[in-house]
Structure 1
């Protein structure tokens, strides 16, 4: 029997290890010795970075879980449905048209574009024969490629291509106190998803089944798209894009404890935080004192797990 407490303890251990790794000389021994520089490094850089990693990992895992429920397909998540790319397009447009807007306003525009991108993906699915579940993520990946190409073209024309590349490359090295607080909105969305978990589980059974139980299917879809859009936009603005995270963690949790979303939410939140913590630690140690971006580490691991899941699904079929 799997224990959630073990996952929480493992996450806490990884968080403690994360606090001690970095180019700056900071250890618990130096903290106990009362060195001011070590305390500053801890409070300004290490703690905010560790919190950002945990918040981003847990919220993106929940976003993937909600996306899989509303689409009714286990192989989708924000980076395979065009949601993240739509948020990036919105962030680019608001940067071009209103560069002086505060970050919160830009994040709101990015969330709006992410919502529209998710809606477009769901509309496209109506015109695609979905007898094979693998077709759904393929449609999403193609849509993401088209939106990404439009974003790159606009960025190239206006000299913002390096900025777009930076947004698409998830990285926690620039996280400092005062530059990650938007990620707490992701935690708020996680709590909303937890409160509505039973409703999303019912919605995953289909429109007719949900309506027969007296629930408003359309409102649940709007709520789910809103949660996914806000999380995708917040993470993009704060730390960049982290691919495959929302796909890998919910699928692993589903294999362990089943498809009940209420039971899965705490597991996915803890598993997402632990997964990103482990990936960030690997990225910081591979070329120490330099760093490999978290999107590279998670992308390599996540793509491998994605292939395994596809092959496993095909072998069972």
Structure 2
């Protein structure tokens, strides 16, 4: 799949996304700059599109970095406890620090996402047999433990509904002034591209990286920080979007290989296309109502994940 095909698909889907919603807006309606439809277009539709693009590209690249560093194609923020750790940080900030600012909540969530990811990587280092299926299953169990802790304390504090509604992956509430945190992912993506070759070398193992004169710990920690930043910004702005960082890098690696410098642009674009497609489907099925994007991504992504899981098992038997 050539990159220009992904660019065309992203442009077409972006145009469709701008003109789909509970209120019908036509391009001709935008000629009147003072009309209500124009204001809706500027305040809601454009910010929503920008949020989808940034979240899709960011989460896909976060998954690509994690798969490279862990040397496992089934590892992602979804299957490594990163998103669950971010949720735990948000819950703790809401429970014990009720007067914290939004910036402090971001810091809390980022710290927990980073620590949670580092704990998973430490668990990964202690596994003797890194089976292609066994590792992500451990990550899913680890994430479920963190999620259970979050659910328990949220239930005890009677904020479970608040947590669930806030972290529901959806772009419904995205308007101007509520998505700008996602702009943080832009320098993160640029930094990931600049360090792409180093991430590739680091993924080959500590001894190999040190023999090439690379600071293994620095690059590894940098990759985890970038993943934590992206995960935090997406969770706090949109909510939890499952499978995106898992399936998109795997699809790209099928036709592009594992060279991160080459695959990052393709991964970002395919992530945008996939998330745009899922969002459009969710807005069309029960129109004028809307299915949250995390539901459509989960349904489609789980099917793709099961296919990859069985492919991985067949590959492991060979």
- Regarding TM over 0.5, the answer is yes
Q: Does 1:309 align with 2:296?
A: no
Q: Is the 8 A contact 1:198 1:261 kept in 2?
A: yes
Cα distance in structure 2, aligned partners of 1:130 and 1:301: 30
- In the TM superposition, 1:1-317 aligns within 5 A as 2-32=1-31, 36-316=35-315, 317=318
* Structure 2 stretches lacking a partner, 5+ long: none
Cα distance in structure 1, aligned partners of 2:167 and 2:136: 19
Cα distance in structure 1, aligned partners of 2:115 and 2:215: 20
Shift of 1:32: 2.8
Residue-pair matches, total: 316
Q: Is the 8 A contact 2:86 2:232 kept in 1?
A: yes
Residues 182-237 of structure 1: CA distance to partner in whole angstroms, max 9, x if unpaired? Answer: 00111221111011001001111111110000010000111011001011111000
Residues 247-281 of structure 1: CA distance to partner in whole angstroms, max 9, x if unpaired? Answer: 11000000011110000000011111111000000
TM-score, structure 2 normalization: 0.97
Q: Is the 8 A contact 2:133 2:312 kept in 1?
A: no
Which piece of structure 1 moves more, 73-82 or 159-168? 159-168
CA RMSD of aligned residues (A): 1.2
Q: Compared with structure 1, are the counterparts of its residues 131 and 239 closer, same or farther at alpha carbon in structure 2 (3 Å cutoff)?
A: closer
Shift of 1:99: 2.8
Residues 139-168 of structure 1: CA distance to partner in whole angstroms, max 9, x if unpaired? Answer: 100000100000001101111101221244
Cα distance in structure 1, aligned partners of 2:90 and 2:51: 20
* Structure 1 stretches lacking a partner, 5+ long: none
Q: Is the 8 A contact 1:88 1:167 kept in 2?
A: no
Which piece of structure 1 moves more, 164-173 or 68-77? 164-173
Cα distance in structure 2, aligned partners of 1:24 and 1:274: 23
Cα distance in structure 2, aligned partners of 1:109 and 1:244: 24
Which piece of structure 1 moves more, 94-103 or 256-265? 94-103
Cα distance in structure 2, aligned partners of 1:288 and 1:10: 23
Runs of 4+ in structure 1 over 3 Å off = none
Q: Is the 8 A contact 1:80 1:144 kept in 2?
A: yes
Q: Is the 8 A contact 2:82 2:228 kept in 1?
A: yes
